C-alpha cells in the first residue's frame, strides 16, 4: 500500500507545492517527495503528508451514525480541506525555514502538529453539526 498509494500521494503534494510556489513567482524545485526554494528545502515524509490526519478525520466521520451518503460526502469534503491545510502548512514551513530558520523546528514539531489536530477536530465538529444522526 505504501508504494502504490502513499508514495505517489506524497510526491504529488511536493509537486503541487512547487507548482504553487512557481505560480506566484518563487523559484522552486521538486525531487521526489522533496521540495525546495533557494536557501531551504523540506522532504515530505509520512507524518507530514496529512494521511494520518485524514485517516483520523475519516474514522470519526464514518463511525458517526449518519446516513452513508452524508458520511461519504463529509469524508471527501473534509479530506479536501485537510489537503489544502497541509499545503498551507508546507508552504509556511518552507518560508519559516528560509527566513526564520531558528523557528522552523518548533513550528514543525509543535505548533503545526497541535494546530493540525485542532483543525481536524474543528472539521469534524463542523460536519457533525450539519448532519442528522440516524436513530
> What is the domain count for the chain?
1
Under 8 Å between Cβ of 13 and 42: no
In a domain, 135, yes or no: no
| pTM reported for the whole predicted model | 0.93
pLDDT computed for residue 1 by the predictor: 76
In a domain, 70, yes or no: yes
Which of the residues in the chain have pLDDT under 70? none
Q: CA-to-CA distance for 107 and 40, rounded, in angstroms?
A: 15
Which DSSP state fits 81?
A: H
Range of the domain at 89: 2-128
In a domain, 133, yes or no: no
Q: What is the pLDDT of residues 17-26, one digit of tens each?
A: 999 999 999 9
pLDDT computed for residue 94 by the predictor: 97
Q: Reduce the DSSP state of residue 29 to 3 states and report it.
A: strand
In a domain, 63, yes or no: yes
In a domain, 134, yes or no: no
In a domain, 75, yes or no: yes
**Run of H or E residues at 18:** helix 7-23
- Spatial strand order of the sheet with 34-37 comes to 29-31, 34-37, 40-43
pLDDT computed for residue 33 by the predictor: 97
Under 8 Å between Cβ of 75 and 83: no
Amino acid at each position: 500500500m505504501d508504494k502504490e498509494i502513499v508514495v505517489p500521494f506524497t510526491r504529488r503534494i511536493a509537486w503541487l507545492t512547487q507548482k504553487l510556489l512557481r505560480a506566484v513567482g518563487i523559484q522552486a524545485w521538486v525531487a521526489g517527495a522533496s521540495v525546495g526554494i533557494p536557501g531551504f528545502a523540506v522532504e515530505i515524509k509520512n507524518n507530514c503528508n496529512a494521511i494520518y490526519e485524514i485517516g483520523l478525520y475519516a474514522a470519526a466521520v464514518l463511525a458517526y451514525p449518519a446516513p452513508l451518503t452524508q458520511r461519504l460526502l463529509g469524508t471527501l469534503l473534509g479530506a479536501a480541506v485537510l489537503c489544502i491545510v497541509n499545503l498551507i502548512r508546507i508552504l509556511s514551513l518552507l518560508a519559516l525555514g528560509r527566513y526564520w530558520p531558528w523557528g522552523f523546528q518548533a513550528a514543525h514539531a509543535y505548533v503545526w502538529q497541535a494546530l493540525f489536530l485542532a483543525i481536524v477536530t474543528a472539521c469534524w465538529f463542523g460536519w457533525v453539526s450539519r448532519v442528522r444522526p440516524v436513530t
